[in-house]
Structure 1
């Protein structure tokens, strides 16, 4: 089963309900990366700045260990009791956990209890975020095949709208009150913003209907009783293919949005406001790139566009770090622009490929599991590994070389195992669509 078309009004409602929820998830993670210096200042002993930053990134990485657990729990619920009900729980838990960070006491107030409480809240945040990728299943089952890549390209803009919001708000706040005040108390404001965002998403999700695909599966008795087990045992090859795609996407995203702004300000001598402002403009640039790559994948297929991204991420990391490290706003932006021109397809196509790869009865659980296991291993650890490599080697070439190595592995996985999923390419060779989901183009 693929998707069934619904009215345009219903499609728009589902689009915004799913998109704002994903935006909350990405805002939560982006703001932690952007506020890494403030987190280090407030939650860890101020003995060695490098050790404190590594500890901050360590908490960031550990929180990702909870995401696979969340993906299995919420993935199972999403395929058994419904996409909509599951996503309501996810967004409420996620936004609440992020807002809680803004209320935590600091190291100066409670000592070692502060980083421990930060870790606990981050683990809750990671567990809930483990179920958010299932929003793609709800959207997929409400839209038709026509220009689906472009629709999902727009849907995936949520991650960069969130990064743009996080970077822009951080830059604005730093400009208004200064870096010292941001480190003292201003960082709390940015975390507390997630609560009204989450409540808005909850309101929108309560107004959408469950997909006709899931309703029909419920009526026909084809809902899987153990979707996680079926996904792991029956979809191993496709999970591996999707893992390769998300491995590349996760490293690219978190290096660009969580590591690079801090690297530039802490290690390359770029002013904090310049690094944040240029990164915010890059996120704005992504708003234009992703739908274009989605539309291109509707025309020529998903796989060629993704292989282009892997090759590009083998070529551009060294120029990106060199040019961005030159320090002026123009150079910081230009360096990052090279990076996003080739990295954008991995973000634009991740959700649509995950939804197209797996059957309807596993459409929430299977891609959610593949996505979150990849992010746990590679996304959450990317800032930590880059910082550790830089500290261990003293070479500014270490972080870009790490990205290049990931690109090689991802290219081989996708080239050898990823099937083409775009309807425009696979339809002549595919089995007929289920009668329920036959498109009325």
Structure 2
């Protein structure tokens, strides 16, 4: 059960991590090289545009997940996601087909974004298969999949760069990394086909309690909770994509850090994040979700400037320590996102509501984070611009969560929740 839910998340994040770390190679292959900076900005632009399809996917698959079942919806999601990712590895380059190359890249990225819009619903299936005991730790382990994927992407990129050099990666090596998603997707399809539909959904279907229009009900009946969850994911998405997509390229292109050193340090950081996820999840079971999330927001107001400065010193140890400072503050947002989203909403909207909140936030802030950071750096010429942007997002997220996010940890359910009524619990 656990592996069946996490494998799709792994495919999703492997794709996005590969696209980020291979941004220079993608720019080299799909855009004119007369202006490398413009090509890199265009690469991040395609990255950002693909996120516009995620809200559409969240509404389509969210509705299906709450009306027709979690399991079958997730089967469709993983097929679309892995197939479109692998297809990118087969695309012709700009030097071969001209303008058709970036257009085909954009089309496949949109398919990826649409399918990825439904993957967050895997959290609903997992939630309905586990009890309340140590749920935060279980979901912390669930969230490992995104960082295992980032670790795999960064590790493979580093290894490939060392084996064939940057020129080899730019010419053909990048294709190998995208094609890996196909066997991953087929493995996920096999595992998910072996999982039973959740008893919670089957019970709702038998009682006729399934929402007829989940998306409409989520938007009209759960506005306050959607806003709270949006604030959390806004912060999580910026932190994640700056760390895993923008920062390796920033360090190698603007801070004088070697490409191999930047990738190697990011690989080690992903390994560190893997260790932190269940620890923060377990801690949230004991002290609550909200205190840790507010700690993360405050931390991301304080640490970005020193973290970027330390990482920019260039030596491997400084690159790692700068990023370590960043993730110690940011890690709770990823460790707790899925469990908070599942706990916030009633069972009949457990697939659609958090999926919508998650993907609208990622479309607005996650997909645009690398582009905005690169554009701010290019426009202002100041290396302070990207960390200041992160700090501004953290301030906004802090106030949203402080005043609207209820405590959702099971330990708090014996007393009134802060800021909202407790949604009905139908977890076995």
Q: What TM-score, normalized to structure 1?
A: 0.95
Map of 1:197 onto structure 2: 184
Counterpart-to-counterpart distance in 1, 2:242 and 2:362: 12
Q: Is the 8 A contact 2:41 2:374 kept in 1?
A: yes
Q: What TM-score, normalized to structure 2?
A: 0.98
Q: Which residues in structure 2 correspond to 1:59-138 (within 5 Å)? A: 59-138=46-125
- Displacement, 1:437? 4.0
The answer to whether the aligner puts 1:186 opposite 2:134 as a matched pair is no
The answer to whether the aligner puts 1:28 opposite 2:23 as a matched pair is no
- 1:166 pairs, out of 126, 133, 153, with 153
The answer to whether the aligner puts 1:291 opposite 2:292 as a matched pair is no
Counterpart-to-counterpart distance in 2, 1:254 and 1:393: 21
Counterpart-to-counterpart distance in 2, 1:437 and 1:50: 51
- Displacement, 1:47? 1.0
- 1:340 pairs, out of 327, 330, 336, with 327
- Displacement, 1:101? 0.4
Q: Unmatched 5+ residue regions in structure 2? A: none
- Displacement, 1:304? 0.2
Map of 2:374 onto structure 1: 387
Map of 2:212 onto structure 1: 225
The answer to whether the aligner puts 1:310 opposite 2:294 as a matched pair is no
- 1:52 pairs, out of 39, 46, 49, with 39
- Aligned-CA RMSD value: 1.2
What is the CA deviation profile of residues 294-343 of structure 1, one whole-angstrom value per residue up to 9, with x for unaligned ones?
Answer: 01100010000000000000011001110101111100000000000010
Q: Which residues in structure 2 correspond to 1:238-317 (within 5 Å)? A: 238-317=225-304
Q: Unmatched 5+ residue regions in structure 1? A: 1-13
Q: Is the 8 A contact 1:102 1:188 kept in 2?
A: yes
The answer to whether the aligner puts 1:378 opposite 2:360 as a matched pair is no
What is the CA deviation profile of residues 244-276 of structure 1, one whole-angstrom value per residue up to 9, with x for unaligned ones?
Answer: 000000000000000000000011110000000
Map of 1:6 onto structure 2: none
- Displacement, 1:33? 0.4
Counterpart-to-counterpart distance in 1, 2:423 and 2:55: 31
Map of 1:364 onto structure 2: 351
1:332/1:437 CA distance change after superposition, 3 Å: closer
The answer to whether the aligner puts 1:177 opposite 2:172 as a matched pair is no
Map of 1:410 onto structure 2: 397
- Secondary structure of the residue that 2:187 maps to in structure 1? helix
Aligned residues: 425
